Structure 1
């Protein structure tokens, strides 16, 4: 895990490029093997650093896009909003993710992107990314694979919202987030920072805030989790996975400790 040196670093932009290369390489190498030359090419990508305060929109559905964002720090939500103003979170993006990669070919944002926490992003122009993919087919394959994995996760979210009971939905979401954060080295010993409010949890699971509150109480009562001040502790991984009908295969990441 890299700690940002901020203004104290002699060349903050150089540091940002190195951090971007590291984050993106880690993401892509979890999907395909990259050569030394391919990894080096990621470090040569021209980028623009973007810092976004918590709660701010990064882009809105329908926006014309000419660049892709790479999440370097923080939590980002992907969501859609109805005409009545109801919001449905469809995914959470974590460090290394490119939550608007579809825009590389579709050119238009398909969803709202918002910073849940203060976020640091790297912006890469579509033209530079397309040039990189033409030069290095393995990188193009990795980006395509990451899109397929995102589709796999989206399918599981549809099942979660459409077919599981309230407490199971929340249990499944907690299992997923712990698994993803563990793969990034951001969770340890069944504990992780998960800075989601009950509003975020409701919008991600299609529940009311009342049902989220009741479901949290039920998970605590069964001694499966503790969730306080944005910190999640899982006390019984097997029990929580069974409650959420969670099988991590759809995430296509290592799955330490999960048994269903």
Structure 2
């Protein structure tokens, strides 16, 4: 059940068979959630983390007047709320589509990390990856044009879905609506619509039937000023550096 999580952890280096088994043993019974379900609530503490097994979700903050900022799009294999101290989270997580999630007891995870320091380092690096994504989003909000900002978000989601082996024939599931993109990019709905129309007109993407179709990956990368290095662990960067190991070659 924890295959994609283990793959994420092994992006930073191989795990021994007993380490993989220990991660598998952490994962509790899976449950199914409909779309638009708030799974994690800002300000609340919970005894379990949540591993996203299938589907897509998003992390967000919402002001008292209802204005929302999306700060992360989650893909299968992500832990939606990886905090070990038992402190209340300072964000919410909601489902974008039907999702299957499995609990991971925070106490058991903390014990495993104490017992197996190499696994502890791997989970720590997952947190570093989240921080790298947040920095990239912050940079985009402050310095990229609206066109580049949206293109970069599309590149990131596509690259992360591809890493989870969920891209086929240059397309992936994409339940992210125009309003979600607007809330992630800090744009109005009207401005986001114009950007998406421009990306389509330039032959870079199509969005239809809740799918993202990438027509020109190199062009989309250029439009978004996208460099996937911030998404990769050391082991993955070494693999990508080998001939034929690039993202476009795998699409």
TM-score (norm. length: structure 2): 0.90
Which of these residues, 208, 217, 224, is aligned with residue 244 of structure 1? 224
Q: Which runs of 5+ in 1 are unaligned?
A: 1-18
Which of these residues, 86, 104, 110, is aligned with residue 90 of structure 2? 110
- In structure 2, relative to structure 1, the CA distance for the partners of 1:54 and 1:181 (3 Å cut) is same
1:204 aligns with: 184
Counterpart contact for 1:54–1:116, Cα < 8 Å: yes
- 1:192 match: secondary structure: strand
Residues 173-218 of structure 1: CA distance to partner in whole angstroms, max 9, x if unpaired?
1111111111111012321111111111111111111011111110
1:217 aligns with: 197
1:167 aligns with 2:158: no
Residues 136-194 of structure 1: CA distance to partner in whole angstroms, max 9, x if unpaired?
11111110000001100100001112221111111111111111111111012321111
Higher RCO, 1 vs 2 (CA within 8 Å, ≥6 residues apart): 2
Mapped partners of 2:156, 2:221: distance in 1: 9
Mapped partners of 1:208, 1:31: distance in 2: 38
- In structure 2, relative to structure 1, the CA distance for the partners of 1:48 and 1:162 (3 Å cut) is same
CA apart distance, 1:237: 1.3
1:52 aligns with 2:43: no
1:71 aligns with 2:52: yes
- 1:113 match: secondary structure: strand
1:195 aligns with 2:175: yes
Residues 230-253 of structure 1: CA distance to partner in whole angstroms, max 9, x if unpaired?
111111111111111111111115
Mapped partners of 1:242, 1:201: distance in 2: 19
Counterpart contact for 2:12–2:125, Cα < 8 Å: yes
Which of these residues, 18, 42, 57, is aligned with residue 61 of structure 1? 42
Cα RMSD for the two superposed structures: 1.5
Which of these residues, 98, 122, 134, is aligned with residue 154 of structure 1? 134
Mapped partners of 1:165, 1:46: distance in 2: 41
- 1:79 match: secondary structure: strand
CA apart distance, 1:226: 1.0
Q: How many residues align?
A: 238
1:143 aligns with 2:123: yes
2:207 aligns with: 227
Mapped partners of 1:99, 1:32: distance in 2: 22
- Equivalent positions of 1:15-26 (< 5 A) are 19=1, 21-26=2-7
Counterpart contact for 1:70–1:122, Cα < 8 Å: yes
Mapped partners of 1:176, 1:107: distance in 2: 29
